[in-house]
Amino acid sequence: MKKYSLVFLFFMLLSISCKKDFLDVKPQGNLTSALFPQSAADALLAVNAVYGSMHDWNIYSGGYPIADLLSDDAEKGSNPGDQSHLNLYKSYQFTPSIEELPRWYAALYKGIKFANVVNEKVSIIEMDVALRTRYIAEARFFRAMFYFNLVRAFGDVPKVINLEAERKMPRSPKQEIYNEIIIPDLEYAIVNLPSKNSYGADDIGRASKGAAQSLMAKVYLYLADYTKAEQYAMDVINTNDYALMPQFTDAFSVAGQYGSESIFEVGAREFENTAQGGNQYANTQGVRGAPNKGWGFNRPSVDLANFFEPGDARNTGTIISLGDIIDGVLIVGDISTPDITYSDPPTNSIIKEKETYNRKVWTPGTNTSTEWGHNIRIIRYAEVLLIASEALVRNGNSGQALIYINQIRQRAGLGALATVDLDVVYKERRAEMAMESDRFYDLLRTGRAAQVLGPLGFVAGKNELFPIPQSEIDLSEGALTQNPGW
């Protein structure tokens, strides 16, 4: 009996001896926010993640180039039934609950959070001060860009500038976002970022002073402060760090990656997942069927094809047609997609749509993974020339604007013009920037949207802004208001 009692004691002691911290289980395989970032190496990881957010499919307007669909440049594409809800953008019948908007909105704020991690946490890490400052400047460049995309699309939005955001936040006026975030962030970036050429070979692709200046020029264009727009655009031009690529298509090609025209682009590798550096942006729009097996969304419209002047290299540089041979590869297209659809069946005299694809995301190859390697060009020197031209014209210096407009036209294989006015700049801007999600905002900015897009369904007083996603309004329980007209 006694020895059994000892057995009993043994087990009782064993079970009581469970350590006090038995229930403290560290998460495996992940650090927690309390422990990161702490070192210089962490700081680099944190700033890299801000760039990494550009591989998030949703950050490009929820995956699908809806700004192009809303413009006169593009049709939905793919085969008719595929993602047919995207036609609701085309017809301006989309509602605040359409699915791209919340994904896009959330992806932009996720990027903003990553930037805030650097701004708030890296700034207190003890490390090389110059490097630390550069990291913060890189992050703030992104934060400005993300907020610029937010206010351009949604207008007033919640202002999140640190990691302790409230769950219920009202919208801040977009002017406040410009004044307190976008402009100060870009000013900081311009001062503290190195020029494009001072990055080492392995750091090419990081945000540069030129990128920040270019974005600032664009921001002021949208704020209609043409003096400042001209000033920042000229700053970029005067660095002489940039030049147009001789061939228009090389501004987008694999060979032209990080070329002289590239001010800011998103590096990507040919892997069908983001952790390995892939980016699905081009796959979404790539040639459907043979050869690329892309999804084929965002199809250049007949209107766009007809818009180009004869001989404009940007026509075939923007639009892929069936039967083209590009980089030695025959474009066959998709069997299940009609090659041509007509507006007036069965007479079939008016072409509504042709099976075409966006040349600006073209990657040579016969499988999808090559498309994941496409580097998206976020800011090109051509755009800076266009910003400068517009600002110069508006500021009364058409003579200098003409130089830049003609640089662009000559590269496109067109003759030089003798004079330039705003209409000329607008025309060149459409031809140059088509299918780059710019046209819709540009029409809004210049007050031409109702006139140009009215026939497509654009409603003045409503479609100047996207609606705040319905799910965000529901989640905010009254803190967020909807845009007018929605």
Partner 1 sequence: MKFFYNLLIALLIGQSAFAQALIVKGKIISKEDNQPLIGVTVVVKGGVKGVATDVEGNYSISLNPGEDTLKFSYIGYKPQVKAVNNQTEINVTLELDAQMLVEVVAVGYGTQRKSDLTGAVSSVRGADITKIPSASPEMALQGKVAGVQVSSVSGQPGAAPVVRIRGVGTLNDASPIYVVDGVILDDISFLSSADIESFEVLKDASATAIYGSRGANGVIIVTTKSGKGKADGKPEINFSSEFSLQHLAKKIDLLNGREFAEVVNIISPGSYNNLDAVANTDWQKEVLNDYAPMQSYNASLSGIAGKYNYYFGGGFFKQEGIVPKSTYERVTIKLNNIYTFSDHFRVGVNLTATPFKTQNPAGVIPTLYRAWPVSVPFNPDGSFAEVGGSGNPLADIEYTNNTTQHIRSVGAAFAELKLFKNFTFKTSYGFDLAYAKDRSFTPVFFVSPSQSADLSSLTVKNTQDKLWLFENTLTYNKTFGKHTLNVLGGITAQENTSGHLGGSVKDLIGDDPSLWYLSTGDQTTLTVDNPGDVISRLQSYLFRVNYQYDNRYLFTGSFRRDGSSKFGKNNRYGNFPSAAVGWNIINEKFMADTKLSNLKLRASWGIIGNEKIEGTKQYSLIDNGINPVFGNAENLNSGSSYGVTGNENLKWEETQQTDLGLEIGFLNNRLRGELDYYRKVTDGILVNLQVPGHLGNGAFATVTYNAAKVLNSGVELTLSWTDKIGNLNYTIGGNASSVNNEVLELGATTGANSFIISGSLGNGQSVTRTVVGHSIGEFYGYNVIGVFQNQAELDASPKLNGQQVGDLKYEDTNHDGVITTDDRTYLGSYIPKLVYGFNLTLNYKSFDFLMDFSGQMGNKIYNGKAEIRPDLYNFEANVKDHWNGDGTSNSEPMPSSGGVNYEPSSYFLQNGSFFRLRSLTVNYNFSSKLVSKLKLGKASVYVRATNLFTVSKYSGYTPEIATEDALSSGIDLGVYPVTAVYSVGINFNF
C-alpha span between 466 and 85 (Å, rounded):
16
352 binds partner 1 (CB under 8 A): no
Q: CB-wise, 367 or 481, nearer to partner 1?
A: 367
Which of 133, 247, 274, 482 is close enough to bind partner 1 by CB under 8 A? 274
Q: Where does this chain touch partner 1 (CB under 8 A) — which range of 111-119, 207-215, 219-227, 397-405?
A: 111-119
N residues, the chain: 486
The whole-angstrom separation of Cα 368 and Cα 285 is 11
Q: For the CB of residue 253, give the shortest distance to partner 1 in the complex, in Å.
A: 14
Instruction: Name the nearest CA neighbour of 102 among 140, 145, 66.
Output: 66
114 binds partner 1 (CB under 8 A): yes
Closest distance to partner 1 from the beta carbon of 340 (Å)? 16
Stretch that binds partner 1, among 45-53, 186-194, 231-239, 381-389 (CB under 8 A): 45-53
| Min dist. Cβ of residue 418 to partner 1 (A) | 40
In the complex, minimum distance from the CB of residue 215 to partner 1, in angstroms, rounded to a whole number: 18
Q: Is 403 in the site for partner 1 (CB under 8 A)?
A: no
- Of the CA atoms within 13 Å of residue 201, those in its CB half-sphere come to 0
Nearer to partner 1 among residue 126 and residue 202 (C-beta): 202
Interface with partner 1, residue 102, by CB under 8 A: yes
Interface region with partner 1, contact rule CB under 8 A, candidates 2-10, 350-358, 387-395, 429-437: 2-10
The answer to whether residue 486 forms part of the interface with partner 1 (CB under 8 A) is no
Q: Residue 425 Cβ, how far from partner 1 at the closest point, in Å? A: 33
Q: Which CB sits closer to partner 1, 366 or 410? A: 366
* Contact stretch for partner 1 (CB under 8 A) within 93-101, 241-249, 308-316, 385-393: 93-101
**Distance in Å, CB of 407 to partner 1, minimum:** 25
Binding part of the chain for partner 1, among 129-137, 196-204, 395-403, 415-423 by CB under 8 A, reads 196-204
The whole-angstrom separation of Cα 176 and Cα 194 is 28
Among 39, 97, 198, 451, binds partner 1 (CB under 8 A): 97
* Nearest distance in Å: CB 56, partner 1: 8
The C-alpha atoms of residue 113 and residue 119 are separated, in whole angstroms, by 10
Distance CA 99, CA 117 (A): 28
Q: Is residue 172 close enough to count as binding partner 1 by CB under 8 A?
A: no
The closest of 429, 434, 431 to 445, measured between CA atoms, is: 429
Which one of the spans 19-27, 228-236, 417-425, 447-455 is the region binding partner 1 (CB under 8 A)?
19-27
Number of residues forming the site for partner 1 (CB under 8 A) = 107
Looking at the Cβ atoms of 46 and 219, the one nearer to partner 1 is 46
CA distance 206 to 4: 72
The answer to whether the beta carbons of residues 272 and 290 sit under 8 Å apart is no
CA quadruple 450, 439, 152, 136: dihedral, nearest 10: -170
Which two structure tokens, joined as six digits, stand for 142? 């992104």
Pick one of 42, 225, 303, 339: the residue that binds partner 1 (CB under 8 A). 42
Specify the residue, 197 or 451, whose C-beta has the smaller distance to partner 1.
197
Instruction: Tell the smallest beta-carbon distance from residue 455 to partner 1 (Å).
Output: 17
Q: Does the bond joining 346 to the residue before it have cis omega, within 30 degrees of 0? A: yes
127 binds partner 1 (CB under 8 A): no
Q: Which of 55, 374, 380, 411 binds partner 1 (CB under 8 A)?
A: 55
* Residues 283-322, mask of contacts with partner 1 (x by CB under 8 A): -----xxx--x-----------------------------
| 326 interacts with partner 1 by CB under 8 A | no
Scored b (16 or more CB within 10 A) or e, 58-89 reads bbbbbbbbbbbbbbbbbbbbbbeebbeebebb
- Cα–Cα distance, 309 to 302 (Å, whole number): 14
Stretch of 159-167, 209-217, 315-323, 446-454 contacting partner 1, by CB under 8 A: 159-167
Q: Classify residue 155 by its DSSP letter.
A: S
Tokens in use for 485? Answer: 């007209």
- Cα 87 to Cα 85: distance, rounded to the nearest angstrom: 5
Report yes or no: 297 and 284 within 8 Å, Cβ to Cβ: yes
Per CB under 8 A, which of residues 408..467 are in contact with partner 1?
none
18 binds partner 1 (CB under 8 A): yes
Residue 215 to residue 189: CA distance in whole angstroms = 11
In a 13 Å sphere around the CA of 33, the CA atoms on its Cβ side amount to: 8
Distance CA 219, CA 61 (A): 19
Backbone angles phi, psi at 266, to 5 degrees: -105, 110
Is position 471 an interface residue for partner 1 (rule: CB under 8 A)? yes
Per CB under 8 A, does 31 bind partner 1? Answer: yes
Residue 471 sits at the vertex; the CA angle it makes with 467 and 473, to the nearest 5 degrees, is 65
3-state class of 473 per DSSP?
A: helix
Please say whether the beta carbons of 358 and 350 come within 8 A: no
